[in-house]
Copies of this chain bind each other. A is one copy, B any other.
């Protein structure tokens, strides 16, 4: 064996999470869990690896999914999950007969896509989904808005807007013009609006969907409607005209927004936005996107919608549902950009320094007393020069240090050093814990 060193590196598009990023990431996960649980969503987990045919479905376009796919030791064609929706569909088909409906689950787990890496885009990232399966009731759509709202509040973000649309609204307008079967090319053209502008979209619609100029204009007029709910709906009504489908969508959006307002969501936090479509073929009703008003550039941080049939590939049982997904890593990047992440290297609040290694038991005892007060505290592992130990505390941003040497053990007291304020106090054990609590609650 040679003594050469293997270069330590991660794969392109993959990354390590160091403590200063992992601590706020876990905090976000915890906040999501708390809100999801409060609303009665239960946690599940599914394997990272699945049969490729399950992940790809029938006629699935593999290149879209950019699967990490391979043949395993048992000659099975397997792949790493690229989202949590397909595994949910498989899971639902397998377990809902036993679990019953409505089934409310959340799932926070990594997914893998071999996409070209870019700034903020990785080949391994966390998804954070919640869904209510087995009901067509708009109560579940409304609850989805409440969960998104409460989640962002819990994270400490107040300046956000949830954008809502309903896929049947455009369908209603198309139905009105006899264009329902041309939905796909029309949506594909509409999707390009921000990039290529109105004139080019109209040109494409005419070419690929054979609509006339007025029809194209009407579609664009609908998609341009956004903002305060009742005003948007008032403007949408004449465009929908007699279409039952469109009228039902308007009624559904009206019910959803009004109920949310009645519950206490403000008009600033909940807008209608008839431009959002979220892909061509999955969502069938309400659609959600959520934007941070201070950081519109990062895109939607929580998106989702209603679907008619979750698991048609895997079961004959029709499973309608509604859900959304928090873009946790995107949100983490946003919080970092806003300077809202405090870069700490540890959750420790107190460093118990070792002055005399023979007193290790005493140092650990006082540290464990501090744990009992619900405060993280660690004993420095070596009786090095106190200055070196305090340097460690500073590097990790541990705000408090405890020092005790011969004199303190004789007098049965402790030195508490406040590293932010620079002051040092001499305290007995009971006062020490009290003082630590006091200092930590004010900083």
Contact = CB atoms under 8 A, between A and B. Distances in A.
A114 B49 CA distance: 12
Question: How many copies of the chain does the oligomer comprise?
Answer: 2
Contact of A139 (B2, B70, B263, B360): B360
Contacts of A74: 12, 114
Interface string A56-78: 01110000001010111110101
A142 B48 contact: no
Interface string A367-401: 11001000111111110000000001001001000
Interface string A79-94: 0100000000011011
Contacts of A93: 8
Contacts of A44: 16-19, 22
Contacts of A412: none
Interface stretch (A97-105, A173-181, A182-190): A97-105
B22 A45 contact: yes
A196 to B, nearest CB: 30
A382 B25 CA distance: 35
Contact of A51 (B9, B16, B361): B9
A441 interface: no
Contact of A11 (B78, B313, B379): B78
A375 B395 CA distance: 39
Contact of A100 (B11, B110, B395): B395
A210 interface: no
B132 A376 contact: no
Contacts of A90: 8-9
A425 interface: no
A379 B41 CA distance: 11
A150 interface: yes
A279 to B, nearest CB: 18
Contact of A16 (B47, B351, B381): B47
B72 A135 contact: no
Nearest to A316: B5
Interface string A339-368: 000000111100100100100110011011
A440 interface: no
Interchain residue pairs A-B with the least CB separation, the first 4: A40-B378, A70-B70, A19-B42, A14-B47
13 contacts: A8-B93, A12-B74, A19-B43, A19-B99, A39-B371, A40-B351, A42-B347, A47-B124, A48-B110, A68-B70, A146-B364, A259-B361, A264-B368
